[in-house]
Structure 1
Amino acid sequence: MQQQVLVDMDGVLADVYQQFINKEFELTGEYLDIKSMHGILESEAFPHFESIVRSEGFFRTVPQIPDSIEGLKYLNDKYKVLIVSSATEFPTSLKEKVDWLGEFYPFISWRQIILCGQKDSIKGDIMIDDHPKNLNFFDGKKIIFTQPHNVFHNEPEWQRIDGWKQIIDIL
C-alpha cells in the first residue's frame, strides 16, 4: 500500500514570509529583515499581521517556495499526497488556496486538498510542516520545513529540511 504524505501549504509550498515582507513594505515603505524574525511567530514578527492575513488576495498571490512545484510533483508520482492546511481561521483563504493550488500545482486534484481548523485528526505516514504544533501530535515520520519561526525547535524525532531538493533526496 502506498504511503500517505501530508504536505502543509503555508511555509512549505507557499512563501508566506516573503508575502508578508512584501505587504509590510507596501503599507509602510519599510523592508523587514527575515533574519530578525528567527524564533518569532509570524503574528509577532509582522506589525500588520492581522490586517494583511485577512486581506483579500493575500493567499491567492503568495509566491511559491523555490523548487516546490517539481518537488510536489515528484512526491505526487511516488506517494499518496494530501495537501493539508489549517485554513478555516481565515475564511477568505479557502477559495484563494484552492485556486492557488490549481494554478501552480494542477496535478493535485481537489480530492487531495484538506482545509481544516486543526491538523490533529488528519492521519498519514509522513508529515511535512513548518509548525512544531502540527508535528507534535503526529504519529508518523515528522519532517520540519525550516522557516524563521522554527529555527530553534529541534526535536530528536523530527528530520529538518531546508528546501524541496532535500525532500526529494530523502523521500
Structure 2
Amino acid sequence: MNRKSIAVDMDEVLADTFKKIVKTANDICNLSLSEVDVKGNRIWDFINKEQAKELRKAINTPGFFRDLEVIDSAVFAVKELSKHYDIYIATAAMEAPNSFHDKYEWLMEHFPFLDPRYFIFCGNKKVVHADYLIDDTVSQLDAFTGEGILFKANHNENTVTNHIQVDSWNEVLTLFSSLRVV
C-alpha cells in the first residue's frame, strides 16, 4: 500500500519566524511593536517603504533563519506523522534567497529524522505534489493541488477560508489520526 504524503511549510508552521521578524523590525525601525500589536496583520502594514526595504535586506542576510525557535510540539508531531506518512518540507525560500543554507541547517538540527532529499525550496507551492499541505498562507494553499490545511499563525488570525484550519500541532495529530485508514 502506498503511503500518503504531507508537505509541511517551514516558516510559521515549524519555525517561529514571525517572532524574529518583529524583533528585527523593532531594532531596525526603532519601533516597540509586540506580537500582540501585530496580531491579524503582517509586519509590513506597520512600516514605511524605506523601513520595509531595510527589513527585507535584514531577512535576506545569511544567518537570519538559522536560530529560529521551533513551534511548540512540531518536532514530536512531525516525527509521529512520519511513521504513517511521507513527510516533505516545502518552504518558500525564493522570497529570501540567502535563506537556503540556514533553512537546510535548521531543518537538519531540529528534524534530523527527516530525509533531506524531501526538502523542497520553492516559490509557489503549486509545484509540490503531495496529498496534503500544511501552510500558514492561504495563497499557497489555494495554488496547491492536494488538500490544503491552514496552520493558524499571528498574521492569519482572522482569515476566512474553505481550507481545514488547525491551531496547533496537537490539532494536526488529531486530524491526521482521524484521516488515517488502519
TM-score (norm 1): 0.90
The answer to whether structure 1 residue 151 and structure 2 residue 167 are counterparts is no
Pick from 105, 108, 114 the counterpart of residue 111 of structure 2: 105
* Aligned-residue offset at 1:57: 1.1
In structure 2, how many angstroms separate the alpha carbons of the residues matched to 1:87 and 1:45?
23
Gaps of 5+ in 2: 177-182
Gaps of 5+ in 1: none
In structure 2, how many angstroms separate the alpha carbons of the residues matched to 1:70 and 1:37?
28
Match of 1:169 in 2: 174
* Aligned-residue offset at 1:66: 0.9
In structure 1, how many angstroms separate the alpha carbons of the residues matched to 2:143 and 2:85?
22
* Aligned-residue offset at 1:45: 4.6
* Aligned-residue offset at 1:27: 4.0
Match of 1:134 in 2: 140
In structure 1, how many angstroms separate the alpha carbons of the residues matched to 2:101 and 2:119?
12
Structure with the larger helix share: 2
In structure 2, how many angstroms separate the alpha carbons of the residues matched to 1:141 and 1:88?
23
Q: SS at 2:90's partner residue?
A: strand
TM-score (norm 2): 0.85
Distance 1:28 1:137, change over 3 A: closer
The answer to whether structure 1 residue 9 and structure 2 residue 13 are counterparts is no
In structure 2, how many angstroms separate the alpha carbons of the residues matched to 1:12 and 1:3?
20
2:25 is aligned with what amino acid?
E
1:102 is aligned with what amino acid?
M
Bigger mean CA deviation after superposition, 40-49 or 73-82? 40-49
In structure 2, how many angstroms separate the alpha carbons of the residues matched to 1:27 and 1:139?
38
Pick from 68, 76, 80 the counterpart of residue 86 of structure 2: 80
In structure 2, how many angstroms separate the alpha carbons of the residues matched to 1:64 and 1:45?
25
Distance 1:49 1:40, change over 3 A: farther
Bigger mean CA deviation after superposition, 94-103 or 71-80? 71-80
Deviations 1:98-146 (A, max 9, x none): 0000011101111110001211121111110000010112232221011
Q: SS at 1:11's partner residue?
A: coil
Match of 1:69 in 2: 75
Residues paired across the two proteins, number: 170
In structure 1, how many angstroms separate the alpha carbons of the residues matched to 2:45 and 2:102?
24
Match of 2:179 in 1: none
* Aligned-residue offset at 1:14: 0.7
* Aligned-residue offset at 1:78: 1.5
Deviations 1:61-120 (A, max 9, x none): 111111111111111121011000110231210011000000111011111100012111
Q: SS at 2:83's partner residue?
A: helix
